[in-house]
Amino acid sequence: MSASLDTQPAAHRQQRAFWLKHLHRWHWISAALCMIGMLLFAITGITLNHAAQIEAHPNVQKRSAHAPAALLQSLRQFKHADDKGPVPPQLVDWLHGALDIDAAEHEAEWSPDEIYIALPRPGGDAWVSLSLSNGDAHYELTTRGWISYLNDLHKGRNAGKAWSWFIDVFAVSCLIFSITGLFLLQLHAGSRVATWPLVGLGVVIPIVLALLFIH
């Protein structure tokens, strides 16, 4: 009987040691993966929250070029189902060479006399238009600085598929970090009496603020 009682605490300690080992492992792995991302999203959370107080200084660049007659002729004959469609390959090549811009994965807006291509980007905006009547092409790029760039990365605005995948992976890492942290709190709560009151405070504060001050 006494041997059975002695083995129960030992088994419990072994189980606790097992979970501590694996929870700590995944906690530090997820922390290492998402640490820089957490800093980025925390800092840009502050800058987004105070966007009205942070003055941006837009920088506008303009370039122009003239399309050759052969290109204009091929564009006039290019078949498109409606007013919007992919940028024709020959126009992509010419824009890259003449204006040093990449329009390959963007959408063109067609009108009888003009092709307009919006080129949105993080921290700024850009567009290019080409007159089908005289071949004049105009390109305008507006940038609003590093803060606007990082803010748009925070929102995933016009950042592309690769950044969208990064946000998903980062979010999963944050979930692992938070969940393993919660279980670690549970394992250590016995010797740290303030654990659950602090966790409860972290839950209650945003709920109270939302109920009282957000309408």
Q: What is the 3-state secondary structure (H, E, C) of 109-161?
A: EECCCEEEEECCECCEEEEEEEECCCCEEEEEEEECCHHHHHHHHHHCCCCHH
For residue 7, tell me if it sits in a domain. Answer: no
Is residue 9 one of the residues assigned to a domain? no
pLDDT band, very low/low/confident/very high, at 70 (cuts 50, 70, 90): very high
What percent of the chain is modeled with pLDDT above 70?
A: 95
Choose one of 84, 108, 143: the last residue of a domain.
143
- Each residue of 80-128: pLDDT tens digit? 767 888 899 999 999 999 999 999 989 999 998 999 999 999 999 999 9
Sequence-distant (6+) residues with CB within 8 A of 87 are 95, 103, 104, 106, 107, 108, 117
> Is there a domain that residue 81 lies in?
yes
What pLDDT does residue 7 have? 54
Residue 168 and residue 130 in one domain: no
Q: Are 135 and 71 part of one and the same domain?
A: yes
Structural domain includes residue 150: no
Q: Is the pLDDT of residue 166 over 80?
A: yes
Are 193 and 206 in a shared domain? yes
- Asked if the model's pLDDT at residue 149 lies above 90, the reply is yes
Q: Classify residue 1: in a domain, yes or no.
A: no
- Residue 8 — very low, low, confident or very high, per pLDDT cuts 50/70/90? low
User: What integer pLDDT is reported at residue 77 of this predicted model?
Assistant: 84
- What mean pLDDT, rounded, does the chain reach? 91
The domain boundary residue, chosen from 117, 143, 169? 143
**Integer Cα distance of 11 and 14 in angstroms:** 5
Residues 121, 103: contact at Cβ < 8 Å?
A: no
Do 65 and 139 sit in the same domain of this protein?
A: yes
Q: Assess whether 70 and 50 both reside in one domain.
A: no
The boundaries of the domain holding residue 160 are 14-54+156-213
Q: Look-up: residue for tokens 């820089």?
A: 36
Q: What is the pLDDT of residue 39?
A: 95
Are 76 and 120 part of one and the same domain? yes
Q: How many domains does the chain have?
A: 2
Q: Between these two residues, 157 and 20, which has the higher pLDDT value?
A: 157
Same domain, 25 and 92: no
Is residue 170 in a domain? Answer: yes
One domain, residues 46 and 65 = no
Lowest mean pLDDT among 21-35, 69-83, 110-124: 69-83
Residue 111 within any structural domain of the chain: yes
- pLDDT score for 112: 86
> Length of the chain in residues, anyone?
215
- For the segment 186-200, the average pLDDT, to the nearest whole number, is 90
Determine the Cα–Cα distance for residues 205 and 62; give it in Å rounded to an integer.
Answer: 49
Is residue 44 a part of any domain in this protein?
A: yes
Range in 5-14, 95-104, 141-150 the model is least confident about: 5-14
Residues 121-148 have a mean pLDDT of 96
Last residue of a domain, one of 143, 176, 196: 143
Shared-domain flag, residues 49 and 64: no
Residue 5: per-residue pLDDT: 46
